[in-house]
Amino acid sequence: MSLLVIGSVAFDALETPFGKTDKIVGGAASYISLSSSYFVKPVNLVAVVGGDFLKSDIELFQEHGVDTAGLQIKENEKSFFWSGRYFNDMNSRETLVTELNVLGDFDPIIPEAYQNCEYLMLGNLAPQVQRTVIERLQNRPKLIVMDTMNFWMDIAYDELIKTIALVDVLSINDEEARQLSGEYSLVKAARKIMAMGPKYLIIKKGEHGALLFGQNEIFYAPALPLEDVFDPTGAGDTFAGGFIGYLAKAGDVSFNNMKSAVIHGSAMASFCVEKFGTERLVNLSQEEIDARVQLFADLVRF
């Protein structure tokens, strides 16, 4: 049941064809913990913010069942900040500003109460920091899921490979799977990546859905065709949060249950992109989630 989430909690400033925001709450761990909180509570969070992070935003996490005992607050520093602009097709974006700030020397301290977690979600971060978390846990969790991105393939390849070798499920997008494996065919890419350590691989394909690979099994989860994608930021993190939250709730890490977890993650991601940032994620009802999962089921039933 117990879920530990690590990743960035940050400020984002976003610009899409539909509008722009000032600094709003962002960061992989924000999306992951809010998303997973609809499945399991508490969500134990390990992250770092600066003195500029609002108390009311921390309270918002707490109201969703996120335990923030592991959220370090560096009063005299500033929170990680990222600013980006999406192009018209919403599939590509440019980074305008990246300020590492507190994330630059983030030391992930695990509160004693967070030890013995059964489910560990490593949100996108420097792979050596992700690995430190695994090393600091006294017992290996039942399931470790790791999300990462091409940035670390470019600048920290060796560290990344060492960390990937330790996890059960790796979650990356299709371009990243191709980059990491050097294979264009996703079937071949999956085989190579699973040989690096993970028993399961999730390849996220955005508007084209997601693939879940096991040793001898493949599952294809569609994406819901949407009227508009308002803001894709955090969709992959929200997916990961729904995925591991569903597994932690069920306490079942079979491939069969992972299929349902992928669908629930996809459903959560489909909400995320409907509004800016985490806006949609903080106001969801169980009925809305159930109805959305049913839409996914109907979408592929024949």
Binding mask 53-92 for its own copies (x = CB under 8 A): -----------------------------------xxx--
Query: Alpha-carbon distance 64 to 192, whole Å?
Result: 38
Q: How far is the CB of 124 from its own copies (least distance, A)?
A: 24
CA angle 26, 172, 1 (to 5 degrees): 70
Label residue 88 exposed, middle or buried (CB < 10 Å: 0-12, 13-18, 19+). Answer: exposed
CB contact at 8 A, 281 and 60: no
Q: How far is the CB of 190 from its own copies (least distance, A)?
A: 8
Q: How far is the CB of 252 from its own copies (least distance, A)?
A: 13
Q: Which of 146, 263, 268, 273 binds its own copies (CB under 8 A)?
A: 263
262 binds its own copies (CB under 8 A): yes
Site for its own copies in 150-209 (CB under 8 A): 184-188, 205, 207-209
C-alpha distances out from residue 232 to 92, 142, 163, 236, 251, Å: 10, 31, 27, 9, 30
- CB nearer its own copies, residue 267 or residue 284: 267
Q: How far is the CB of 90 from its own copies (least distance, A)?
A: 8
- CB nearer its own copies, residue 116 or residue 185: 185
260 binds its own copies (CB under 8 A): yes
Q: Which of 220, 252, 254, 283 binds its own copies (CB under 8 A)?
A: 220
300 binds its own copies (CB under 8 A): yes
- CB nearer its own copies, residue 69 or residue 297: 297
CB atoms within 10 A of CB 250: 17
227 binds its own copies (CB under 8 A): yes
- CB nearer its own copies, residue 105 or residue 252: 252
C-alpha distances out from residue 231 to 9, 10, 235, 260, 274, Å: 18, 17, 9, 25, 7
Q: How far is the CB of 97 from its own copies (least distance, A)?
A: 26
Binding mask 200-219 for its own copies (x = CB under 8 A): -----x-xxx-x------xx
293-298 contacts at long range (C-beta below 8 A, 24 or more positions apart): 293/263, 293/264, 293/267, 295/224, 295/267, 296/221, 296/222, 296/224, 296/263, 296/266, 296/267, 297/263
- CB nearer its own copies, residue 240 or residue 263: 263
List residues near its own copies by CB under 8 A: 88-90, 184-188, 205, 207-209, 211, 218-223, 225-229, 256, 259-260, 262-263, 297, 299-302
